[in-house]
Amino acid sequence: MRTLTVDLGDRSYPIYIGTELLRADLIAPHIAGRQVLIVTNDTIAALYLERVQAMLAGFETASVVLPDGERHKTLETASRVYDVLLERRFDRQSTLVALGGGVVGDLTGFVAATYQRGVHFIQIPTTLLAQVDSSVGGKTGVNHPLGKNMIGAFHQPRCVLADMDTLTTLPERELKAGLAEVIKYGLIMDPEFLAWLETSMPALLARDPEALAQAVERSCRDKAAVVGRDEREAGDRALLNLGHTFGHAIETETGYQSWLHGEAVAAGMHMAAHMSRELGWLTEADLARVRALLAAAELPLQPPAIAPDRFRELMAVDKKALGGRLRLVLLRALGEAVVTGDFDDTALARTLAHFAGA
């Protein structure tokens, strides 16, 4: 087992990464009080709920099994969890355990942030995306009909337990979507990791547990470093959004139905790299490396055909926009991202035209 720490003073917490981690001794020290509510969804409950209940046998536990899917990441679903907490008289010393992917993790964290003004929570992420991204860093929230993740809070977990064994049941497409976020760390800040990914992609796609553990560890280490210096996204943390402004536009245009988040981020990172090439920051060879790595992870490179004006309209609804000015995460070099609103707009125009097939 590998252990990393997210360094946030008295809110610091460990990330445990490895196999056979669904063990009482790892989780028990991070539980406040005696009452524990496990929150999961129907897909994951069928696979792992019994094991997690067994590891919490010494506590007074209850479980809430939510319907599966991003469309249930809402205040209404969160309300069902508050109902159980109140009906069962869970007190301020309670602990919530999020067992699942990013949807369950974000929603459970939000309930933990708000129930009785904040209780402890623990993340047991079961998708690659959740293990390398959403379970770490304390961004929690739910969607609003007018915008994704628009209702939320920063609330750090007490520990993260990333068990590689849970990835054995993950659908192929979800695994690849998670790889997009892994590649993101290499591109924004870690050239050595980028090179490792270029040689390790076949092992990752074959779910080699050691390769997966290494990828999760390096991704979490990179993310922990960023979160440690900018927990509330006053600056650097926005770098973690490489490809996300383009990607959100794709997700919104396609109604969050046909594209997985990681797939949209992959095409979005390709677009950001293309624009960085247009700005003269990346070389043609750099851009080819980005394309080759995304293709090796069997991720989509091309967004759906969206007219440039429409793409801009969709991109404008972005939490990074300041005073109406679009800000983008772009690549100064491979392994060195910047967030900037100060770019040559004609480069963006050329990129949008290129991908619209104009």
Residues interacting with ligand NAD, by CB under 6 A? 41, 43-44, 47, 68, 70, 73, 100-104, 106, 126-127, 129-130, 133-134, 137, 139, 149, 166, 169-170, 174, 177, 261
Reference 129, options 266, 19, 328; nearest CA is: 266
Find the catalytic residue in 41, 73, 120, 181. Answer: 181
Residue 237 among the catalytic residues: yes
Find the catalytic residue in 72, 261, 270, 327. Answer: 261
Could you tell me if 311 and 249 are in contact, meaning their C-beta atoms sit under 8 angstroms apart?
Answer: yes
Strands 147-154, 139-144: pairing kind: antiparallel
Burial status of residue 356 (CB atoms within 10 A of its CB: 0-12, 13-18, 19 or more)? middle
Distance CA 60, CA 113 (A): 21
Interface segment toward ligand GLY; rule CB under 6 A; list 233-241, 260-268, 329-337, 348-356? 233-241
Residue 73 among the catalytic residues: no
Could you tell me if 352 and 304 are in contact, meaning their C-beta atoms sit under 8 angstroms apart?
Answer: no
Q: Checking phi first, is residue 343 left (phi over 0); if not, alpha (psi -120 to 50) or beta?
A: beta
Could you tell me if 266 and 287 are in contact, meaning their C-beta atoms sit under 8 angstroms apart?
Answer: no
Q: What does 261 bind: ligand GLY, ligand NAD, none (CB cut-off 5 to 8 Å by kind)?
A: ligand NAD
Q: What does 73 bind: ligand GLY, ligand NAD, none (CB cut-off 5 to 8 Å by kind)?
A: ligand NAD
**Cross-strand bridge partners of residue 40:** 65
In the block, tokens 């964290």 appear at: 109
Pair of tokens at residue 125? 């992420």
Q: Is 133 in the site for ligand GLY (CB under 6 A)?
A: yes
Strands 60-66, 35-41: pairing kind: parallel
Contact set for ligand GLY, span 27-56 (CB under 6 A): none
Among 137, 141, 247, 262, interactor with ligand GLY by CB under 6 A: 137
**Cross-strand bridge partners of residue 93:** none
Q: What does 237 bind: ligand GLY, ligand NAD, none (CB cut-off 5 to 8 Å by kind)?
A: ligand GLY
Q: How far is the CB of 134 from ligand NAD (least distance, A)?
A: 3
Residue 289 among the catalytic residues: no
Residue 144 among the catalytic residues: no
CB closer to ligand GLY out of 31 and 141:
141
Q: How many CB atoms lie within 10 A of CB 261?
A: 24
Interface segment toward ligand GLY; rule CB under 6 A; list 40-48, 71-79, 234-242, 275-283? 234-242
Residue 148 among the catalytic residues: no
Find the catalytic residue in 241, 263, 274, 327. Answer: 241
Which residues form the catalytic set?
117, 139, 181, 223, 233, 237, 241, 244, 248, 261
| Interacting residues toward ligand GLY by CB under 6 A | 133, 137, 139, 237, 240-241
